[in-house]
Structure formats: structure tokens, C-alpha cells
Structure 1
Amino acid sequence: MTRSTFVYVSYIRTTPEKLWAALTDAEFMKQYWFGMHCESAWTAGSPWTMVSGDGQIFDAGAIVEAEPPRRLVIRWQHQNKPELKAEGDSLCTMELEPDGTAVKLSITHTIERSPSKLIEAVSGGWPKVISNLKSLLETGAIALQQPYPSESTRAEKA
């Protein structure tokens, strides 16, 4: 079977424990994930949802593996865009590896189909989310206020 994969790697000046907490604490997550947050018990087999600021469920699934503070695997299915939901389950694997004063965060998001609109969508989102996470942990402030450029910003660049 064909597969679509997106891989994103970032080095964040923090500890594995602090990074794990940032990846699993709903209130902290809202700061860097544009108001979104994940809800889960963060143990293998527990349900997982990604919820917007207004309570809408965007993604749902389950925790496949949880080895704090080293590895997290989520079975992930988009919920609100029919064409993305129809693609079925994807797997999102997060691996945290100490590297001196930083932690290497590797995110691999895969789905058993090619091409995949879901993988195309997450490939635009993950860099923004993780850039905000990195900035927040290292400086105390996020880098990006909006997940997508505003209409006025796009018009200025045209």
C-alpha cells in the first residue's frame, strides 16, 4: 500500500520533561496552538481529541503509545472537513531526544494513502505550531499570532 508522510524536526532549548508537559498540557497548548488544545489521559488506549477554542472537535482518535518524556503516538482522524475525514486514520509520532541543552523533537505524520489531502494540510500546520511552541518555551512569547496570513497581509504581498 502507498503511504504519505510528513516529517518535521525542531531543536528546542528545554528539557524533555518540560517539552512533554508542553505537548500534553491543554492550557499551555492553547498558547502556541492558536487557541486549540488536545484532551486525553495521555496513556496508551485512551481517547484523544483536538478541540477548538469554541469547543468544536477538529480531530479525534486514541493514544497508541505513550512513553513520557520520550515518545507519543496518536491515531488521528480529522473530523470536520468531509474530504479529510474520508481519508481515515493517520498516525502522528512524536519523539523527544535530549541533545545537549536542547531536545530534538521529531514529528512524523503518516497515512496509508497517496496522495493525501490530510498530510498536505498538516504539512502546513505543524511548522507553525512547533515554531510557536519553540518560541514560547525559549522566550516566553509565541512567534505567530495567526495560523494563516490575514487577507490584508496577502494583499500587501501581491
Structure 2
Amino acid sequence: MTEISDRTYVYTTYIRTTPQQVFDALTTPEFTMQYWGGAELRSDWTPGALLEAYHPERDDFIGEVLVVEPPTRLSYTFTGRAEQEAGRPATTVEFTISPFGDEVVKLSVLHTGFTADAKGEQDHRDIGEGWPAILSALKTLLESGTPLPSPGHLAPRTPATRA
């Protein structure tokens, strides 16, 4: 059994929007693909449901929905397919959404469950670069209506126009 470390990652940002808009942005595939490196987060968003970050050009993460309390809390497990196949435990992500005054929302992310080995240390470092980029892109999109222009694997995709 792989030992889990006490390493955690916490990131907080403040966004001029509403709690419901943040929650919807976290759970709507057409929205996530504009700030989550082009990935559509797909799930029916019920506890125990599968969560898949779908991208047409690469494997992304998968997980299981743990907590859904719109518009204040969302939690799920987080792992790659290769890591899952290798028997590595998933990490856990929890979003907390709360008003900060009348026009601003405080969005906090707590990411836990990193293994106590070199791979867990690397995952923690990677998360430390990934979350600020993803959440900065989310903030920009919610406040301006336009995706943050990001390079490479963080590049947004535009939702297809529905007829």
C-alpha cells in the first residue's frame, strides 16, 4: 500500500462574479474547455459519479465526484489513467465558494492526498503550477467573458456553435 503524505496545496482567488456563476463554470463542459486547457469536464455531478476531463488530443484526468453542494462546495478525486492503471491512489480536490462582499466571490481550492514518494513530490510541484494557471484563466473568463490566451497544453478551446 502506498503511503499518503500530509502535503497539501491551497490556492485562493477572488473573482468579480456570483457563487452560482463560479459553480456553473466548474461544472459545465462548454465553459471548462475555455479555461481548463481545452478540457471538457464531463459528469452528471452526483456523488459517486464518474468525472472525465475530455480533450480530443490527449488523455487528461479522471475522477469520482465526492461532494456537490451548489453553489458553495464541490469535491472530487483526481488521477490520470496511467496512474490509475499502475495502482497509484487518486488525490482529492475540494473547491469552496463563498461571497466576499456584494460583488466578489472567494474561490479556494484544497488539493490533498499526495503520496509520500518522489512521484507524490513531483505531483505536488506540478499542481503548484497547474492550479494558478487554471484558476487565473477561470477568473479572466468570468470577469471579461474572454478566455485567457494560454500556450501549449493550457490553451483554451472554443465551444462549438450549436444550431
TM-score calculated relative to the size of structure 1:
0.83
Distance, in Å, in 2 between the alignment partners of 1:15 and 1:97 is 9
Partner SS for 2:17: coil
Partner SS for 2:108: strand
Distance, in Å, in 2 between the alignment partners of 1:61 and 1:33 is 15
Partner of 1:106: 108
What's the Cα RMSD here? 2.2
Partner of 2:65: 63
Partner SS for 1:11: strand
Q: 1:35 aligns with which of 38, 51, 68?
A: 38
Alpha-carbon offset, residue 145 of structure 1: 1.9
Distance, in Å, in 2 between the alignment partners of 1:13 and 1:88 is 36
Partner of 1:154: none
Alpha-carbon offset, residue 112 of structure 1: 4.5
Alpha-carbon offset, residue 113 of structure 1: 2.4
Partner SS for 1:95: strand
Alpha-carbon offset, residue 143 of structure 1: 2.8
Gaps of 5+ in 2: 155-163
Q: 1:11 aligns with which of 10, 14, 20?
A: 14
**Alignment partner of 1:129 is 2:130:** no
Among the aligned pairs, what percent are the same residue?
A: 32
**Structure with larger RCO (C-alpha < 8 A, sep 6+):** 2
TM-score calculated relative to the size of structure 2:
0.81
Gaps of 5+ in 1: 150-158
Residue identity opposite 2:99 in structure 1: P
Q: How does 1:48-87 map to 2 (within 5 A)?
A: 48-54=51-57, 56-80=58-82, 82=83, 87=88
Give the structure with the higher percent strand: 1
